[in-house]
Amino acid sequence: MTKPNSHEVRTSAFTRSKKFWRRISDGVAIQQLWLQLHGEARSSYRLYSNEVDWERGENETRGQNFKRIVTGLFWAMILKLSPGRRVLFLIALILLVFPGFDLSYHGVEIQMHNLSFFGALVLLVLLALELADRVTMKRDLEIAKQIQTWLMPSSPPEVAGIEVAFETRPANTVAGDYYDAFLRPVVGGITNACPPLLLIVADVAGKSVPAALLMATLQASLHTLADMCATPLELVERLNRYAYDQNIGGQRFTTAFLAQLDPLTHELTYVNAGHNYPVLRRTSGLIERLETGGVPLGILRGSRYELGKVRIMSGDLLLIFTDGLVEAENDHQEEYGEFRMLDTLNSSSGISAAEVLRRLMTSADQFVGSTAQVFIT
């Protein structure tokens, strides 16, 4: 029996270390890991700092202001935990700050010189509990994301002379953004031999699960009403009444842009319900904004809307978007903005709709970089 030499031992240790690091880092480069950690740290800081009053009082000294801010950040963090876990967290802090004590009572002495170990152990237990919740929630959100993906079209409908392309990228696992594009073979109960194309882009106020649930109900009601309503105006008004009835508490309104395109005349009739103004870029370079409509859905049950009309000519480009694009922030908290969006459109004439969309998303990605997009609701 031969023993491995020192070189073989070092090689084996290096191989194991390499495998361990690859498993920990998922093969991501150090620089990318740092960018990811930096982005997550900034996002977490913004989450907590939004609950702190940073304005210094008139009679406050710098020390008092600093103490108030630190206290505010502490409470903003600890109140995110459940009551039981808050107690565990405080116990861990006490054990870490006061790592030992000597106690003498009636000749009996008790000495504890390593309480910091127990403090770290309590923190580890707390971390394990939080991770378990996170994993469970992430699994549920992934399922919700799959369901949400099924509710939106995976490929655009084919319409002669028209190119349609779409993409969504939620800031969280699920979101309240919704888009759809489908033909209406039955309009107002009447079968149409040349069905018009219905387009909708909507954004439910708020983010994450509550907004995603309302988005799902909006999708269901839209497809139910699409065959019953003769015009986009009637469809929006009925959607508004439905959204109002579902808006318990009055805090979950929905902005939407709904349009119908006649494939023969290329006339677009639309209603803008408080949504970002879509951009219609003519082949000449002229920019038009589609503003006609009314207030967001769900605010007033009897809201009246106006119907806008515009003709889409050959070579024209219509961009419908949500605020998630123009409000995307970089590391300096600067927004992508409509100026950059329009600049990308102006440099993308004469190409397919899918390529324009790809360039637009690439431009936004390059501007944002590794900065995580966080929305506080």
Predicted pLDDT of residue 296:
94
For the record, the structure tokens of 12 come out as 């084996």
DSSP characters for 310-364?
EEPPTT-EEE---HHHHT-B-TTS-B-HHHHHHHHHHT-TTS-HHHHHHHHHHHH
Question: 57-94, pLDDT tens digit by residue?
Answer: 777 888 888 888 888 888 888 888 888 899 988 988 88
Q: Classify 16 as helix, strand or coil.
A: helix
Describe the crossing of helices 62-78 and 83-97 by its angle, rounded to 10 degrees: 130
- Looking at residue 259, its amino acid is A
Residue ranges of the chain whose pLDDT lies below 50: 375-377
Cβ neighbours of residue 227 closer than 8 Å, sequence gap 6 or more = 184, 186, 187, 188, 189
- Find the helix or strand (DSSP H, E) in which 293 lies: strand 293-294
Beta strands in 116-266 (DSSP E): 177-183, 186-187, 190-191, 197-204, 254-261
Q: Which has the closest alpha carbon to 317: 285, 360, 343? A: 285
Q: Which has the closest alpha carbon to 250: 299, 302, 301? A: 299
Distance CA 27, CA 38 (A): 18
| Phi and psi, residue 306, nearest 5° | -105, 150
Distances (CA, A) of 269 to 49, 119, 196, 254, 264: 45, 65, 11, 20, 13
- Looking at residue 111, its amino acid is Q
Q: Which has the closest alpha carbon to 179: 197, 157, 201, 163? A: 201
Query: What residue spans in the chain does CATH classification 3.60.40.10 cover?
Result: 152-368
Question: Do 243 and 218 touch, CB atoms closer than 8 A?
Answer: yes
Pairing of strands 108-112, 190-191: unpaired
Q: How far out from the chain centre does Cα 280 lie?
A: 26
For the record, the structure tokens of 206 come out as 């708020």
The structure tokens 């888009």 sit at 179
Predicted pLDDT of residue 131:
86
Cβ neighbours of residue 175 closer than 8 Å, sequence gap 6 or more = 168, 207, 208, 211, 212, 215, 324
Q: Classify 299 as helix, strand or coil.
A: coil
Predicted pLDDT of residue 363:
92
Level-2 CATH architecture, domain 152-368: 4-Layer Sandwich (3.60)
pTM of the model: 0.72
The structure tokens 């990318």 sit at 32
